Amino acid sequence: MRRRLARYMAVLVLVALPMFVGFAGPDVSSGRWDRVAGSASGVLRELLTTPAAAARDENTVPFEAYKQALDVLKHDYYGPPIDAKKTRDLTYAAIRGMLYTLNDPFTSFLDPDEWTQMQQTTRGDFEGIGAVLEPYGQDVRVVRPIEGSPAYRAGLKPHDVIYSVTNYDHGAKKTTVVLGKNINDVVKLIKGPQGTPVDVAVIRKGHSAPITFHLIRAHIEPPTVRYWMEDPKNKIGRILLNEFNEKSDAQFDKAYQALMAKGMRGLIFDLRYNPGGLLNVAIDIGSRFIDSGPVVIIQEKNGQRQAYGARVRKHHVNVPVVVLINESSASASEIVAGAIKDNKAGILVGTHTFGKGLVQTLFPLSDGSALRLTTAKYFTPKGNDISNKYDEEHRPIFGTGGIKPDVVVTQPDTFTSLDWAEENKKNDAQLKKAIEILRTRLAQNPGRNPQ
Amino acid sequence: MVRALRGMAAAVLLALVIGGSFATGRQLRQSVAGPIGSRVTALPGVGIGAGAGLMPGFAQSDDTSPASTFQDVYTYVKQQYVDRVDNDQKLGFGAVRSMLAALDDPKTRFYDPAQKQRLINELAGNYSGIGAVLTVVKEKRGEVEQNRLAVVAPVPGGPADRAGIRPGDVINYIDKRWVIAYDPRYDLSQLRLNRANAVQYDKEWKDATKRLADGISLPKALDVLSSTQKPLQLVIERAGSPSPISVTVDPAPFVLKPAEYRRLNDHVGYLRITEFNDAAGAAIHEAAQDTQIHGLIVDLRDAAGGPIVGTSPLPIAAQDLLGAFTRGGVVANLVTKGNERQSIAVSGEHHPVKLAVLINRGTANIAEVVAAALKERGGAVLIGSRSFGDAIYQRLVPLRDDTAMTLTAGKFFTATGGDFGKKGIAPDIAMAVGGPQPDDAAVRRALGVVEG
């Protein structure tokens, strides 16, 4: 479990990484908002010239402390020998302990295995079966199959618990029962090159035996934005954003225009379970909701704050907006939600957001490990710090950070799935509230012309 | 108190998990086929695949030793971390604490200056906190390994002793906070076969997560118990007791004489030793000088041992005792790193008296070495119940910046090579006994033995 949770963290911060890398914006005073663009090169140069190794000091206090204790162990420890591998493991533990004192859950050390796995996960997942998975207790289950993917066509369903995975390596069939396995290990088994076969057996409610699906892996480009007319009668549209990547803004624009073409009069913008993404994309999308002024304020290590302002967008959202947020709306989601709230550009409904106002950078290290370090903070346009405070045992103190919704709606216990299928909507109290607010609002302004 | 504070604990990592579990909890989605991957479009910028080759200075360096990794991380933290980091000592303490915890050896752990001072005080008999020697016991329950906080012995006459805490008690709750022994979400595997009810499963998951979030980590629990000045309500589990026992311990700083000697009658002396420190020497000398006695009762009940200060594996007080009341020569054996065996010998003027030694579950470590030596080399009769079974030679090693570490430095065997690790030492005359006192049934029984 410990390992598993560590992996979730890895994924989360990966989300935050591009926020830093993809960011190269002008100073707020230049007024050239349109050039907040995602070029990585500027930051890359910065990283390349970081003189870390050159400035390395041999006689620092932490190093001496670490070395002294390690020497005691090497000379006198009665137990398994402190060999090269053990020394490495102990050193990694020491590094983690040093970082732990920063009391920052987003700063961490990735050993070579973790670092490799993170890279594999991120590189390899364009080819697979097309199912979004989530940890479910000890196991792994399907959130939903991605439309048009092999998993979708074969008939995998939300809530299917992955029972076993069968791979065919040069004709040799190998089945692994994955109950109780780490989600990353399960993902690794399921993923593979386009065109190769894989069998996935799932446990489905109402079936006494696992159901096996024979799948051929494919190249998959899942939409990061999904949309539909949630309430066709009242012309209330809904746009769901999974994350903030480079395609998100264009896809959002397309979704918005498509809904407007159908006469949308109110928009539900769903940022629940959105863990974040690129900073410049957050600014782009945030800019669609607010007229002027900053979307977010970034504070670098030197304490200097820079405001990154709204860009003039071709398609500005100009229907009433309700933003859905919850405790898993993080990072870039909080930037957008915060900008909308501070500018009163929409009504926030749901639960207190995650509370992560920090940007991490990944530093690869010489022995194949990596350091993930918090290097900047951000604030909402009104200057609110959204980062949670943490107690002495590194547990977030809820309510000390995050974005507070304008209308707090907690989901009932019957709400158990991240799948937005029709059957789950009846349990989605937050969605119901959003619709109710927009209906009331639209009823008060029946003549409003969104154009 | 936690004189020996032998428990390290699932420690820092456990706490990290707690932090991490809130990061996104179970809600974070991961895709087999993709959403996350698309983020990576920006990553080639940092040369994610290039790894080490990226950084100038690293690229030219073939120094990939763990030590240089440590230094590089430190340098990045100092230069790049969002907040100013200037407490280098704190970084160092964190590093050593976590490194030692990674050995997963309750006897090897780090003491910061405050913890070290408390330990030194306690070894001298000045106790604070609840007044009990604690240890972390690893216990496998089903598939789950649990780290449980157990009492080796209450300090005789101290707050825990007065509250009725006994050797072997396991502390499960401190002021209603669960002492985190394992990740309770493992329990959910029991529900795996019964997962038809998703609502119930989700509720159980939330309950388990809350239990973990509201719990107290082992290192923190050890610290609280050793330093509290306020009364604590403890819920303990005791072998033979069907339901948990709730006790309130009202701490008060107190001083315990590590040893005391008195005459029970004209011919029999009673020597109670709780701690083999230098201050115990006076009482031991008094007993050794008492030429009037024919018999001696050595009461080692609730003598829980603790890390050994100095270079000699056998404390001077123990050497003096064994020098006076055994035939001398080899009194114990010690195996250290690399399976090096050494014999521990003592010499002294033998004071041949009939010996009875009182032991119980709280008799641990160096007290067990002494009890075995008195039996094997002094003809003592052991009375009471089976001892704790802690044969580890644990040293206290001073470190820089006024810190210290305890170190598993070897394992004791008796003079005849007997291994009392884990199983303890069996009494010759078994009877139920409590803590040390000069006039209970065990002492009367011992009196019969040495006078008979």
Three state DSSP letters for B280-326: HHHHHHHHHHCCCCCEEEEECCCCCCCCECCCCCCCHHHHHHHHHHC
* C-alpha to C-alpha distance for B365 and B153, rounded to whole angstroms: 12
User: Contact A246/B42, CB-based, under 8 Å?
Assistant: yes
* C-alpha to C-alpha distance for A256 and A318, rounded to whole angstroms: 10
pLDDT at B37 over 50: no
More confidently predicted of A135 and A430? A430
Q: Which residues of A touch B50 (CB under 8 A)?
A: 364
**Closest Cβ opposite residue A68 in set B37, B82, B399:** B399
Mean pLDDT across B151-178: 94
**Closest Cβ opposite residue B66 in set A87, A184, A371:** A87
What are the distances in angstroms from CA B194 to CA A128, A140, A181? 30, 15, 18
Highest mean pLDDT of the ranges A219-228, B139-148, B305-314: B305-314
Q: Which residue of B has its CA nearest to A330?
A: B24
- Identify the band that residue A287 occupies on the pLDDT scale cut at 50, 70 and 90: very high
* C-alpha to C-alpha distance for B315 and B259, rounded to whole angstroms: 14
* C-alpha to C-alpha distance for A64 and B317, rounded to whole angstroms: 35
* C-alpha to C-alpha distance for B209 and B219, rounded to whole angstroms: 20
pLDDT at A50 over 50: no
Mean pLDDT across B369-378: 98
Q: Which residues contact B132 (CB under 8 A, 6 or more apart)?
A: B1, B2, B151, B152, B153, B154, B155, B158, B160, B161, B165, B225
Residue A215, both tokens: 């799948």
b or e along B16-28 (b: 16 or more beta carbons within 10 Å of the residue's beta carbon)? bbbbbbbbbbbbb
At residue B197, the pLDDT reads: 57
- Identify the band that residue A393 occupies on the pLDDT scale cut at 50, 70 and 90: low
Q: Which residues contact A11 (CB under 8 A, 6 or more apart)?
A: A118, A121, A275, B24, B28, B30, B36
At residue A390, the pLDDT reads: 77
Mean pLDDT across B283-292: 96
A51 near B61, Cβ under 8 Å? no
- Is A170 near chain B, with CB under 8 Å? no
Q: Which residues of B touch A114 (CB under 8 A)?
A: none
Mean pLDDT across B91-102: 96
Report which of A271, A268, A219, A282 is spatially closest to residue A242, judged by C-alpha positions. A271
* pLDDT tens digits, A343-358: 999 999 999 998 888 8
Residue with token string 């790894």: B51
Residues of A with a catalytic annotation lie at 331, 342, 356
At residue A200, the pLDDT reads: 95
More confidently predicted of A159 and A432? A432
Q: Which residues of A touch B24 (CB under 8 A)?
A: 8, 11-12, 275, 328, 330, 354
At residue A423, the pLDDT reads: 64
At residue A309, the pLDDT reads: 81
Residue A238 pairs with which residues in a beta bridge? Answer: A228, A268
User: Contact A222/B35, CB-based, under 8 Å?
Assistant: yes
Mean pLDDT across B291-303: 96
Residue with token string 């100095």: B310
* Model confidence, pTM: 0.73
Q: For A197-211, B156-170, B434-448, which range has the lowest pLDDT when averaged over its residues?
A: A197-211
Three-state DSSP class for residue A303: coil
First to last CA, chain A: 52
The Cα of A445 is separated from the nearest Cα of chain B by a number of Å equal to 37
Residue B24, both tokens: 């996104």
- Is A75 near chain B, with CB under 8 Å? yes
pLDDT at B196 over 50: no
Mean pLDDT across B39-43: 23
Residue with token string 């009990």: B132
- Identify the band that residue B201 occupies on the pLDDT scale cut at 50, 70 and 90: low
Phi and psi based region of residue B285 (left: phi greater than 0; alpha: psi -120 to 50; beta: remaining): alpha
Report which of B189, B74, B425 is spatially closest to residue A137, judged by C-alpha positions. B189
pLDDT at A51 over 60: no
At residue B46, the pLDDT reads: 27
Residue B117, both tokens: 């001072």
Mean of pLDDT over chain A = 79
**How large is the angle between the packed helices A2-21 and A279-287, nearest 10 degrees?**
70
Quick one: B85 exposed, middle or buried, by C-beta within 10 A (0-12, 13-18, 19+)?
middle
At residue A43, the pLDDT reads: 28
**Closest Cβ opposite residue A368 in set B33, B51, B203:** B51
At residue B186, the pLDDT reads: 60
At residue B363, the pLDDT reads: 97
pLDDT over 70, % of chain A: 80
More confidently predicted of B146 and B382? B382
Q: Which residue of A has its CA nearest to B393?
A: A78
pLDDT at A33 over 70: no
* C-alpha to C-alpha distance for A56 and A253, rounded to whole angstroms: 48
First to last CA, chain B: 41
b or e along A204-228 (b: 16 or more beta carbons within 10 Å of the residue's beta carbon)? beeeeebeebebebbebbbbbbbbe
- Is A55 near chain B, with CB under 8 Å? yes
What are the distances in angstroms from CA B144 to CA A289, B7, B338? 51, 19, 32
CA dihedral of residues A273, A277, A280, A284 (deg, nearest 10): -30
Q: Which residue of A has its CA nearest to B92?
A: A62
User: Contact A49/B56, CB-based, under 8 Å?
Assistant: yes
A238 near A270, Cβ under 8 Å? yes
User: Contact A179/B192, CB-based, under 8 Å?
Assistant: yes
- Identify the band that residue B158 occupies on the pLDDT scale cut at 50, 70 and 90: very high
Q: Which residues of A touch B97 (CB under 8 A)?
A: 97
At residue B366, the pLDDT reads: 97
**B266: which DSSP letter?**
S
What residue type is A274 in one-letter code?
A: N
User: Contact A69/B408, CB-based, under 8 Å?
Assistant: no
User: Contact B192/A48, CB-based, under 8 Å?
Assistant: no
Helix (H) or strand (E) holding B125: none
More confidently predicted of B110 and A193? B110
* pLDDT tens digits, A75-96: 999 999 999 999 999 999 999 9
More confidently predicted of B116 and A116? B116
Q: Determine the residue among A89, A188, A366 to mutate to test chain B binding: the one whose Cβ has the most chain B Cβ atoms within 10 Å.
A: A366
- Identify the band that residue B212 occupies on the pLDDT scale cut at 50, 70 and 90: confident
Helix (H) or strand (E) holding A419: none
The Cα of A248 is separated from the nearest Cα of chain B by a number of Å equal to 10
Tell me how many residue pairs between chain A and chain B have CB atoms under 8 A apart.
Answer: 469
What are the distances in angstroms from CA B240 to CA A229, A301, B152, B214? 65, 59, 17, 29
At residue A418, the pLDDT reads: 59
- Is A73 near chain B, with CB under 8 Å? yes
Q: Which residues of A touch B15 (CB under 8 A)?
A: 100, 393-394
Q: How, if at all, do strands A161-169 and A172-177 pair?
A: antiparallel
Q: For A431-435, B23-27, B226-230, B425-429, which range has the lowest pLDDT when averaged over its residues?
A: B23-27
Residue A76, both tokens: 């006198």
**Closest Cβ opposite residue B189 in set A62, A100, A138:** A138
**A181: which DSSP letter?**
-
- Identify the band that residue B17 occupies on the pLDDT scale cut at 50, 70 and 90: very low
The Cα of A353 is separated from the nearest Cα of chain B by a number of Å equal to 11
The Cα of A208 is separated from the nearest Cα of chain B by a number of Å equal to 11
* pLDDT tens digits, A10-30: 222 223 322 222 222 222 222
Q: Determine the residue among B21, B31, B187 to mutate to test chain A binding: the one whose Cβ has the most chain A Cβ atoms within 10 Å.
A: B31
b or e along A137-166 (b: 16 or more beta carbons within 10 Å of the residue's beta carbon)? bbbbbbbbbbeebbbbbbebbbbbbbbbbb
At residue A32, the pLDDT reads: 21
* pLDDT tens digits, B225-241: 999 999 999 999 999 99
- Identify the band that residue B207 occupies on the pLDDT scale cut at 50, 70 and 90: confident
Report which of B338, B323, B332, B158 is spatially closest to residue B256, judged by C-alpha positions. B158
**Closest Cβ opposite residue B33 in set A79, A125, A245:** A125
Residue with token string 């644990």: B394
pLDDT over 90, % of chain A: 41
pLDDT over 70, % of chain B: 81
pLDDT at B287 over 70: yes
User: Contact B38/A224, CB-based, under 8 Å?
Assistant: yes
Tell me the backbone φ, ψ of residue B444, rounded to 5 degrees: -65, -40
* C-alpha to C-alpha distance for B83 and A102, rounded to whole angstroms: 9
Helix (H) or strand (E) holding A17: helix A2-21
Q: Which residues of A touch B407 (CB under 8 A)?
A: 72-73, 76-77
At residue A358, the pLDDT reads: 86
Q: Which residue of B has its CA nearest to A414?
A: B199
Q: How many CB atoms lie within 10 A of CB A71?
A: 11
User: Contact B71/A57, CB-based, under 8 Å?
Assistant: yes
Report which of A107, A43, A78, A429 is spatially closest to residue B91, judged by C-alpha positions. A107
**Closest Cβ opposite residue B39 in set A5, A78, A277:** A277
Report which of A307, A316, A373, A303 is spatially closest to residue A338, judged by C-alpha positions. A307
pLDDT at B4 over 80: no
Q: Which residues of B touch A64 (CB under 8 A)?
A: 92, 400
B452 near B383, Cβ under 8 Å? no
* pLDDT tens digits, A143-169: 778 878 899 899 998 888 899 999 998
Q: Which residues of B touch A161 (CB under 8 A)?
A: 195
pLDDT at B136 over 70: yes
Report which of B233, B129, B230 is spatially closest to residue B173, judged by C-alpha positions. B233
**Closest Cβ opposite residue B49 in set A14, A22, A119:** A119
Q: Which residues of A touch B16 (CB under 8 A)?
A: 6, 96, 100, 105, 394
- Identify the band that residue B12 occupies on the pLDDT scale cut at 50, 70 and 90: very low
- Is A304 near chain B, with CB under 8 Å? no
Q: Which residues contact A128 (CB under 8 A, 6 or more apart)?
A: A190, A191, A192, A217, A218, A220, B32, B33, B34
b or e along B245-263 (b: 16 or more beta carbons within 10 Å of the residue's beta carbon)? eebebebeebebbbbbbee
What are the distances in angstroms from CA A386 to CA A330, A389, B213? 10, 9, 21
Q: For A232-236, A278-282, B26-30, which range has the lowest pLDDT when averaged over its residues?
A: B26-30
Q: How many CB atoms lie within 10 A of CB B88?
A: 18
What are the distances in angstroms from CA B10 to CA A88, A122, A321, B182? 19, 31, 48, 9
Q: Which residue of A has its CA nearest to B73?
A: A371
At residue A417, the pLDDT reads: 59
